[in-house]
Amino acid sequence: MNPYYNIDDLLKYGNQALDLIGETYQNLEKERVVPDVEPGFLRQLLPENPPQKGESFEDILNDTKTKILPNLTQWQHPNFYAYFPCNMSSAAIIGDMISLAFNSPGFTWIASPATTELENIVADWIVKMMNLPEKFLLKNSGGGAILASIGISIFYSIHAGKYRKMKELGIDLTDPKSLKFVGYYTSLSHSENQRGLLVKDIPYRRAVPVHWNEKIKNFSIDVQEFREMVEKDISDGLIPFWCGATIGTTPCGSVDPIPEIAEVCKKYGMWLNVDAAWAGGAFVVPELRQEYGAGLEEVDSLTINFAKGTMSGNGSALFFVGDKKVYNESLGGKINPEYLKNKFTEENDITDYKDWQLGLGKRFNSLRLWFVIRKYGVEGLQKNILDKIELTKYFESLVTKSDKFTLVCKRSLNLICFRMIKDKDGNIIPEDKLNEFNRKLLELINLSGHYYLVGSEINGLYFLRFTPGNHNTLNQHIDALWKHIEECALKL
């Protein structure tokens, strides 16, 4: 039998691998969330050189079980409360298995018709189930693609924004004006905005500051300040072309005032990209779409990561553009060397996903998303979001009941930002010691490896973030975490 695609092996060890996944999931709660290892540990456990002769699946699976899985940070653990959730689902695991099995990189329609068309369909379904602007439907001016990450989506939006501005000005890269381009991002935006501008060689990059906003009980930019920054740059001879705003910022879950930012962008001809990487998953719930998603009609591009809290695994970053013609042109248009030419592309209005990204090949990620959407349905996806918010509200009630802790800002979906304000004797911690206290508190909470939270800092104010996202987290886990936090606070 063909050694590389031995069906007996596939069935036997594929099933063993599934057993391993199932067992590991079932016993996750007994394990640490963060492994107790030091950098370089794996080199000591694995041979320095690759094996000359092939090894048995038994040995490989056994090493996976004993050396790899126990040393992952367990993002699916009920006590994982750090960053943003990356919860998985059995539907995503099964869908991904099948997608990888046939490894058909649908760069043109004919390179894999179902790969291309399923991505078309899934992107359109998402527009519909989240009530996103109709312009993002493929039959209209725009459309969506599933990209590897939000970071790359942001980069493409910067690229497209620059292309559109140069086209509008009738210039190319040899024109000195192209050295006058300036891009903006709100300062709570993810660092991928800053990186995108840097990598795109944009000479002028502006972080619009944020301030405490009592009305929304969170940090926010002052749109008038943003407008003045743009106007000052224009009067200094610079050319604004792009702005990155966020719905659900990583530091505190805040929502940028998209309608007002869009007005400024429209007036000065800037491409507006909205990063709703994490919070966008909540748009599947109509009330949350209304509460968190104002102004989307006016944005040029929108990116939502179904890997974050929407059970679909990495490689599920939806990138929607309002004008696919400009977007595709920005990536070089239809560059078709002989080996890519085909009558279907030439004779039909079809999507060749190679024109939506750098890199010909792409994973068949739509299959995984299709499995998830079909298996749980819109109602299941809504329940997933709402359940995690309920857990968060429970934690919020514990923080607000305690006089030792306070919320730093209003809860945003399933994110709570909080900090300790009284020491173990009940004395108010002086302002200049608060950050230090809370940094130490986080260290103590995470010390055992059985819980994992991360901290955040805005305008010099340090605090802790709590965000549950796993399906096996229950109120009892949150009770245990809270008890642990209170015990750690007594040690300070």
Chain residues binding ligand PLP by CB under 6 A are 83-84, 149-151, 190, 192, 246, 248, 250, 275, 277-278, 305, 317
* Nearest distance, CB of residue 362 and ligand PLP, angstroms: 15
Could you tell me the smallest distance in angstroms from the CB atom of residue 188 to ligand PLP?
Answer: 9
C-alpha span between 11 and 30 (Å, rounded): 29
Q: Measure the CA–CA gap between 484 and 490, rounded to whole angstroms.
A: 10
Cβ-based nearer residue to ligand PLP, 84 or 482: 84
258-267 helix and 223-235 helix, angle to the nearest 10 degrees: 20
Nearer to ligand PLP, 151 or 295 (CB): 151
Cβ neighbour number for residue 443 with a 10 Å cutoff: 11
Question: What one-letter code names the amino acid at 208?
Answer: V
CB of 475 to ligand PLP, least distance (A): 26
Tell me if 222 sits within 8 A of 211, measured CB to CB: yes
CB of 432 to ligand PLP, least distance (A): 30
The contacts of residue 88 (CB under 8 Å, 6+ apart) are: 76, 311, 313
User: What minimum distance in Å lies between the beta carbon of 197 and ligand PLP?
Assistant: 14
Strand 454-458 with 461-466, pairing: antiparallel
Choose between 220 and 345: whose C-beta lies nearer to ligand PLP: 220
Q: Give whichever of 148 and 408 is closer to ligand PLP, judged by the CB atom.
A: 148
Of 108 and 193, CB closest to ligand PLP: 193
Residues facing 455 on adjacent strands: 464
DSSP for residue 283 = G
Contact 293, 247 (CB under 8 A): yes
Residue 477 CB, nearest distance to ligand PLP (Å)? 22
What is the smallest separation between the CB atom of 154 and ligand PLP, expressed in angstroms?
7
CA–CA distance, 366 with 326 (Å, rounded to integer): 24
Q: Secondary structure of 122-142 in the HEC alphabet?
A: HHHHHHHHCCCCHHHCCCCCC
Of 301 and 305, CB closest to ligand PLP: 305
Question: Residue 31: how many CB atoms within 10 A of its CB?
Answer: 16
Shortest spacing between CB 325 and ligand PLP, in angstroms: 26
Task: Report the alpha-carbon distance of residue 410 to residue 255 in Å, rounded.
Answer: 11
For tokens 């300062």, what's the residue? 187
* Termini Cα distance of the chain: 65
Minimum CB distance to ligand PLP smaller for 283 or for 482: 283
> Which CB, 238 or 277, lies closer to ligand PLP?
277
Query: Residue 459 corresponds to which tokens in the numbers above?
Result: 């305008």
Would you say 85 or 240 has its CB closer to ligand PLP? 85
* Of residues 246 and 330, the one with the C-beta less far from ligand PLP: 246
Closest approach, Cβ 482 to ligand PLP, in A, equals 25
Q: Are 88 and 313 in contact (CB under 8 A)?
A: yes
SS3 464: strand
DSSP letter string over 17-46? HHHHHHHHHHHGGGS-SS----TTHHHHHS
Residue among 305 and 438 whose Cβ is closer to ligand PLP: 305
Closest CA to 419 of 399, 389, 445, 390: 399
Least Cβ distance, residue 208 to ligand PLP (angstroms): 16
**Nearest approach, Cβ of residue 192 and ligand PLP (Å):** 5
SS3 call for 195? helix
Give Cα separations from 32 to 29, 291, 465, 488 (angstroms).
8, 37, 19, 18
Q: Which of residues 123 and 150 has its CB atom nearest to ligand PLP in the complex?
A: 150
Least Cβ distance, residue 313 to ligand PLP (angstroms): 12
Q: Are strands 143-147 and 317-321 parallel, antiparallel or unpaired?
A: antiparallel
